[in-house]
Amino acid sequence: MEEKKKKILVADDSVLANKITTDILKKAGYDVVNAFDGEETLELIQKERPDLLLTDIVMPKLSGLDVCKIIRDDPVYNLMPIIILTMQGQEEDKLRGLELGADDYIVKPFNEKELLIRVRNLFKRIDRNRLANPLTGLHGNLDITMEMTRRLEAGEKFAVLYIDLDNFKAFNDYYGFSRGDRGIKLLADIIVEADHKVGDTRDFIGHIGGDDFVVITTTDKMELLSQEIIKAFDSSIKLLYNEEDIKRGYIITKDRRGHEMKYPIMTVSIGIVVNEDHRFKSPLEIGEVAAELKAVAKNMAFKSSYFIDRRRR
C-alpha cells in the first residue's frame, strides 16, 4: 500500500521565496499548498488540514507569530507541527516563536539540504511521539486524560460530551472497513465544524478510538453543541449508504451470534457529564458515569439524541 504523501502549507508573502521553498519540497515528494498572508494561512489550515506549517514571521494581515499563537490556542489544530522562517538578526522574533509553540526554525537564506533535513527530522519526531489518533488527527486517550485532570485540578466547571455512533458495527461489517473509516472521519469532521461554529474557544476535542469521541466544553455550550452535531450528522450520514439501503431504511447483516438482523441507518448518541460543585475527583469517575449515559442513549438509538446527567453527590 502506497504511503500517503505529507502535505505542507508554505506561508510567505514573498512570491519568489514561496516558490523556491515550494519547488524544493515538491521535488522531495511532498504535497504543497501556498498562502501569502496570515489570514489565508488560517483559512487553508481548516480547508486543507496540512501535516506541517512552514511560515515566515513577517506577513501582512497576521504575522507568523500571530498565526502560531492562534494555532496553539485552537482546540483542534494545536498539535500541528510548525517551523518558522526567520531572517538573520531576528533573534527576538525567533525566540518568541519558539515560546509560542513553534517546533523548529530555519534562518533565511537557507540551503535545500538544511530545509529538507529539518522537515524530515520534525516529521520523524512527531511520528515517534504522536499522541493523536492516526485516522482523525484529533487528540488521543493520553491527551484526553491529561486535559480532564488539568481542569479537575483547576476546579473548573465544565461539561464532557461523550459521542458515539449507533449501529456502527453492523455498518462496518456490511460495507467494509474502508467505508467504516469514512463514517468515523465524517463524524470527526462534523464535531470539529460544529465546535468551530457554536462551541467555546477553550473547548477540547478528542478521539477515544473507533467511533467514540469526547468534547470538553462549557456548560452554557453543551446543549447547543450537541444539537448542532446531531443536525449535521443526520443530514450527512445517508451519503455513506447505498441508495437501495436508504430507500429500505435499514441494512441486513449478521449479529454476533450469526443471525441475520435488520439494522437502521446510523444515528449519533451523546451523553453529557456535567462537573458541578467539584463532583468528580478523577477522569475515571467521569468515564464511569459516561458509560451509564451511553447505555441510556443506546436505548434511544432509533433517533439521534443527547442525554444530560446532572446528578449531584
* pLDDT tens column, 94-113: 788 888 888 888 888 888 99
Residues 101 and 195 grouped into a single domain: no
Residues 218 and 293 grouped into a single domain: yes
In the chain, the amino acid numbered 170 is A
**66 within some domain:** yes
List pLDDT tens digits, range 195-231.
Answer: 989 998 889 999 998 999 999 999 999 999 999 999 9
Widest CA span in the chain: 72
**2 within some domain:** no
Residues 145 and 121 grouped into a single domain: no
Residues 250 and 108 grouped into a single domain: no
**12 within some domain:** yes
Tell me the CATH number at 160: 3.30.70.270
Grid coordinates of 271: 451523553
Whether the link from the prior residue into 109 is cis, omega within 30° of 0, is: yes
Residues 116 and 80 grouped into a single domain: yes
**135 within some domain:** no
**200 within some domain:** yes
Domain end marker among 96, 125, 154:
125
**134 within some domain:** no
How many domains is the chain built from? Answer: 2
Residues 116 and 153 grouped into a single domain: no
User: What is the 8-class DSSP label of residue 4?
Assistant: P
Domain end marker among 73, 91, 125:
125
Predicted pLDDT of residue 1: 39
- pTM, two decimal places: 0.68
Predicted pLDDT of residue 273: 92
Tell me the CATH number at 57: 3.40.50.2300
Q: Are 167 and 183 in contact (CB under 8 A)?
A: no
> Cα separation of 192 and 271, whole Å?
17
Residues 6+ apart with CB under 8 A from 28: 116, 119
What's the domain range around 182?
141-309
Below-70 pLDDT ranges, the chain: 1-3, 88-90, 127-132, 278, 298, 300-301, 310-313
Nearest to 55 by CA among 21, 89, 79: 21
**131 within some domain:** no
Predicted pLDDT of residue 184: 95
Burial of 284 from C-beta contacts in 10 A (0-12 / 13-18 / 19+): exposed
Predicted pLDDT of residue 301: 54
Establish how many alpha carbons lie within 13 A of residue 149's alpha carbon, considering only the half-sphere containing its beta carbon. Answer: 7
Domain end marker among 58, 90, 125:
125
Predicted pLDDT of residue 55: 94
